[in-house]
Chain A
């Protein structure tokens, strides 16, 4: 019985070992990294800058860049910086800024409100009234608190909820391509 068990164990190790070797070999050849939740959300933020039209009053001048900002704890790591390295051809440049507190919020076009700001989310969003800032968040009550786009995660896929009325009152024009994949909701 004992010997039988040992030899079976040895056989198993050989099989698993072979598989591991083959797997490792393949890994060393492949170079893609499966995207994480915030890699995709970062790409969405970048896309928003391309599919939303701001009034000219939202910028200092014709050359000023589109600012994508993060308020509170940054969940993106390097993902957001990496995604804006791919600058759009023509049009405005895109830069990334980070603000720790609502009172630090400076001139920006897209503002991602981190869930770390949950408690003060509502008052932070009120500060931005009439400033044509596309606010993006992911807390349950983000739209209710006056936000414009909310990320949802359903069945491992990222979805969008858009408060169109709010976007209109901030003079933001959303492309139909963006609205096609989003779910329009009310406050």
Chain B
């Protein structure tokens, strides 16, 4: 089977509410909208539930008799649950995991980043209501710089400060086909910044979303959330349109009081597909949102920090076209082009970004032993930023061009037994020049049930606009003689790419219908990691005499991490399936040079139980170990909190598929504790605590 990923196939009003009056106005507008939507949603939920009951009663009267069902009927029935099999992944020489539609449906999650919690080896930490830090294999932070994220082949990794703004990647989950997560480098195929892993979000072909589908959720977090999708035939192809809107409640601080991080967003989009020997896809999205925000700004007067609150305005849109021609079973070529625009206006900085991207790749077989894939790509991304008195970018604008080519050969050494993969990416970009990113992989399958693989690869993380041109005021304090001191981070053009050489080893076992086991171990050796180096203090006289100490961004750190991930699926019976994972990560001694904070141990266990009468009961538990925040050895700079305690999160979901058109679920998240903290702010972000939450959801097909 083709493993899609590995085989590689604005309307926001401009304003910034800084004064209290405006803030209050915007806040009350948010809550007014919430109350209105809430009462309506409650009424709708009731009506839908009642309607569902009537439909269900009809259905019950003609009890489904499978023995009497015709062959056509049998072939047309959608199964409620498909047991996960490792077969799909058995021939993959990387640490990979796929979130299926069944996993999505039964997770009880309502957003893409939250859904990623189930992926073995991925550390998902919610900084506050609208910010996430997500990375595999360490160095996790809000701007997780080593993790590349693609939505239908479109990169959503931001070259401003690196990382992903997860708040604006919130697709309706009912349009997601699957999410493929690869831990470890994937730079040969995907290019720079696919260092610690890649997340590939793949949406459904429009052919599979004909008819109408709606989801409405309401809970203590979702207040409310709604998705609608409609699709059909258009000429010889298919189309779908969708709309999504939600309002997310604020979280709480350590004493349980409301924090300033509620947000709302609306989004719409379409996708058209013409399938055949030549397949064409055209798709696009538009979104806008408002997010309450709070940041700590350093000040020169005691208490040297000031908490400012405001509202971020985010908006964006994209348009993507893809043409692929399948020449034969072993040969295919794809051409893709996209345009993407994002705007973000927050208290800390503003960014408007426009990206054009072209990508071509061609896969073909040469003889019976070689399967070759090669490709060419070009990306132009330019931004225009606005500064605050904490983060300043000079020059405010930057354009980055990346041109790249890659070639990879899959060589069958012994048929069905031994396969060697050898390839490299050759990339040239305006910020760090030429980059070579090769990999070598070996896959051994002694039989259909066992796979052993190993890989050596190199990947780089390219410098961002921020690392070259930003000044970030980090913190202020006073000397014993009361002279104020301001520490600031200073970007510089000397800063070059960070490099990784990764060594990986993996084993996979397919136990047939009973389950599967997947084990991967790695040793990552990083070079030229970003470090801060204190420069000579400067006496500044404006607005009054004070000392400023620059911290220059330099390449210096050598660092290594190693760890292992174990994941399993076990089907006790066809109706009771369990999966779990354990992740162990060890950071080397030179941790001072490394960014982010990572748990040493993580485990998860999920159970899916099919009950009679279309009922389902799902339980998930996640344990994430303690986070020790890095303390910079040179400067002694620390953020306000030094450790984030470990937590155990328990989620419960009860679902009921009344019939083919109605499904209802209720659930609770974080049952075990009233609230807990998952991360900390690094550059002024305010980490808030995630409260226990309850929700109800109705999905309707019509």
> What residues of chain A have their CB less than 8 Å away from a CB belonging to chain B?
1-2, 4-5, 8-9, 11-13, 15-16, 18-20, 22-23, 25-27, 29-40, 42-44, 46-47, 51, 72-73, 75-77, 79, 83-86, 114-119, 121, 139-141, 153, 155-160, 177-178, 180-181
Contact = CB atoms under 8 A, between A and B. Distances in A.
A29 to B, nearest CB: 6
A25 B53 contact: yes
Contacts of A26: 49, 52-53, 56-57, 658
Size bracket of the B interface:
35 or more
B74 A44 contact: yes
Contacts, number: 193
A138 B233 CA distance: 32
B252 to A, nearest CB: 8
Contact of B656 (A8, A9, A23, A181): A23
A27 B611 CA distance: 12
Given A19-B49, A35-B79, A37-B81, A118 B510 contact: yes
A116 B167 CA distance: 43
A121 B87 CA distance: 15
A85 B67 CA distance: 9
Given A76-B574, A155-B208, A37 B448 contact: no
A33 B614 CA distance: 5
B60 A32 contact: yes
Given A26-B57, A44-B74, A72-B512, 4 more contacts: A11-B38, A12-B219, A16-B695, A43-B74
A120 B499 CA distance: 46
B20 interface: no
15 contacts: A4-B258, A15-B218, A22-B50, A23-B664, A29-B53, A32-B64, A35-B77, A39-B66, A40-B79, A44-B74, A84-B67, A116-B512, A116-B514, A117-B512, A118-B512
Contacts of B82: 37, 153, 156
A15 B448 contact: no
Interface string B66-97: 11110110111111111101010000000000
6 closest A-B pairs by CB: A115-B512, A86-B67, A26-B53, A43-B66, A34-B614, A116-B512
B32 to A, nearest CB: 13
B257 A157 contact: no
A134 to B, nearest CB: 15
A41 B610 CA distance: 17
Contact of B78 (A9, A27, A76, A156): A156
A145 to B, nearest CB: 10
Contact of A30 (B60, B83, B249): B60
Nearest to B204: A155
B574 A2 contact: no
B696 interface: yes
A77 B75 contact: no
Contact of B219 (A16, A23, A83, A160): A16
Contact of A46 (B67, B220, B610): B67
B278 interface: no
A30 B57 contact: yes
Contact of A160 (B75, B223, B694, B696): B75
A25 B69 CA distance: 29
